[in-house]
Amino acid sequence: MQTVGVIGAGQMGSGISQVVAQAGMKVLLSDVDIALAEKAKDGIGKAFAKLVSREKLTPDEADAAFARIVPVADYAPMADAQLIIEAATEREEVKRRIFESAGKVLAATAILASNTSSIPITRMATSSPDPARFIGLHFFNPVPVMGLIEVIPGLATAKDTVSRTRAFADALGKQIVQTEDEPGFVVNRILLPMINEAVFVLGQGTANIADIDKGCRIGLNHPMGPLELADFVGLDTCLDIVKVLYNTTGDSKYRPAPLLMKYVEAGWLGRKSGRGFYDYSGDVPVPTR
Ligand code: 3HC
């Protein structure tokens, strides 16, 4: 691939743009407003500066990768892309609108991929111009650090689309797990019930936030406890994924924890809103319960 379109300039879209540019490909980055794509590019510039200061990138490499990221106001320039990756909010109707619009400019052999964390690929493929060239490409946060990509073919995805997508993931230096198109795929199917259960444990007063996280950090050797990780991922995103698991399977074991719903209703979405299970207003995160 030489040119990749990235739709959505949030945490995931920024991370994806960074690693794609570092792998030598041109990135066309878009969001609802070009100012958001430009702001994301500034943030990626800061990440490059940090990598240069730690001697992980040379200044020339950083400048070249930075120049390869081009914020765009609409999808028209993505007609030149061999791959378009959607990394928008985890709402099916939003993603479907994007596939319909981006589908209008998608080149005849180009692939349309979704970074969805849980929504069925086969179902969303019906909003793309060619389901044979539609696929799931699930990155993990923070994208530049996490070594895994899940590749999820839908029912109609062509073999050639799978092999080209795998070659792209390889070119980014990531490990691949290819999964069937089942709700939550592999990693989120396992992770989100754990996070949701941690919120039940908190809601039932079994332990406080600090101890739930300490238990998993030390007792399981996880880099972050489940509530810290929920704040990191975003509580709205966590709830969206749990709802997909619950609604698509109808299995009551996936019912969202009431406290998780309450936090999202309060706008306490984790790190990005300044408060979730922890308060991020000071120098160090402080547990709120
Ligand atoms: N961009 C680039 N590099 C970053 C980074 C970022 N945003 N954040 C951290 N790093 C790098 C640091 O530079 C550092 O590099 P070095 O070891 O070469 O010096 C390294 O990562 C470690 O960072 P820190 O020392 O600052 O911090 P920690 O050691 O506390 O690690 C962490 C931070 C990597 C985020 C670690 O806590 C972690 O692995 N947490 C779990 C993350 C996780 O589980 N992610 C998956 C979430 S689920 C998901 O994404 C799926 C979605 O669908 C919900």
Residue pLDDT, tens place only, 121-153: 999 999 999 999 999 999 999 999 999 999 999
Q: Is pLDDT at 50 greater than 80 in this prediction? A: yes
Whether 104 and 37 share a structural domain: yes
pLDDT band at 197 (very low <50, low <70, confident <90, very high): very high
What pLDDT, in 10s, does the model give residues 26-48? 999 999 999 999 999 999 999 99
Beta bridge partners of 43: none
Ligand 1 centroid vs 144 CA: distance in angstroms?
8
219 lines ligand 1 (CB under 6 A): no
Residues 202, 164 within the same domain: no
> What average pLDDT does this structure show over 242-264?
97
Mean pLDDT of 250-275: 97
Q: Is 233 in the pocket of ligand 1 (CB under 6 A)?
A: yes
Q: How confident is the model at residue 51 (pLDDT cuts 50, 70, 90)?
A: very high
CA–centroid distance, 218 to ligand 1, in Å, is 17
Among candidate residues 14, 117, 128, 196, the one labeled active-site is: 117
CA-proximal residue: ligand 1, atom 12 (nearest): 145
Ligand 1 pocket residue status of 117, Cβ below 6 Å:
yes
Concatenated DSSP letters of 6-42: EE--SHHHHHHHHHHHHTT-EEEEE-SSHHHHHHHHH
Query: If you average pLDDT over every residue of the chain, what do you get?
Result: 97
Does one domain contain both 192 and 171?
no
Residues 217 and 91 grouped into a single domain: no
Instruction: Report whether pLDDT(1) > 80.
Output: no
127 catalytic, yes or no? Answer: no
Claim to verify: residue 12 and residue 151 sit in the same structural domain: yes
Is there a contact between 79 and 107 (Cβ–Cβ < 8 Å)? yes
Which residue's alpha carbon is nearest to atom 36 within ligand 1? Answer: 223
Residue 178: phi and psi, rounded to 5, are -95, 130
Q: pLDDT for 14-28, tens place per residue?
A: 999 999 999 999 999
User: Is any ligand 1 atom within 6 A of the Cβ of residue 152?
Assistant: no
Q: Fill in the DSSP letter of residue 234.
A: -
- Categorize the per-residue pLDDT at 256 as very low, low, confident or very high, splitting at 50, 70 and 90: very high
Same domain, 150 and 219: no
Range of the domain at 244: 188-279
Boundary residue ending a domain (152, 178, 204):
178
Secondary structure (3-state) at 5: strand
Encoded amino acid at 164, one letter: R
Which residue in this structure is represented by tokens 């619009």?
101
- Identify whether residues 248 and 122 lie together within a single domain: no
Residue 243 lies in a domain: yes
Based on the residue annotation, tell me whether 150 is a catalytic residue of this protein: yes
- Is 188 tagged catalytic? yes
pTM given for the model = 0.95
Q: Is 172 touching ligand 1 by the criterion CB < 6 Å?
A: no
Domains of the chain: total:
2
What spacing in Å lies between the alpha carbon of 281 and ligand 1's midpoint?
20
Atom 15 in ligand 1: residue holding the nearest Cα: 145
Ligand 1 proximity of 278 Cβ (cutoff 6 Å)? no
Is residue 44 lining ligand 1, measured as CB closer than 6 Å?
Answer: no
Whether 182 has a pLDDT exceeding 80, the answer reads yes
**Which atom number of ligand 1 is nearest to the Cα of residue 118?**
53
Q: State in Å: Cα 91 to ligand 1 middle.
A: 25
The CA 145 to ligand 1 mean position distance, Å, reads: 5
Are 174 and 257 in the same domain? no
Burial class (CB in 10 A: 0-12, 13-18, 19+), 220: exposed
* Spatial distance between the Cα atoms of 224 and 105, rounded to a whole number of angstroms: 41
Q: What pLDDT band is residue 90 in, cutting at 50, 70 and 90?
A: confident
Q: What is the pLDDT of residues 198-212, one digit of tens each?
A: 999 999 999 999 999
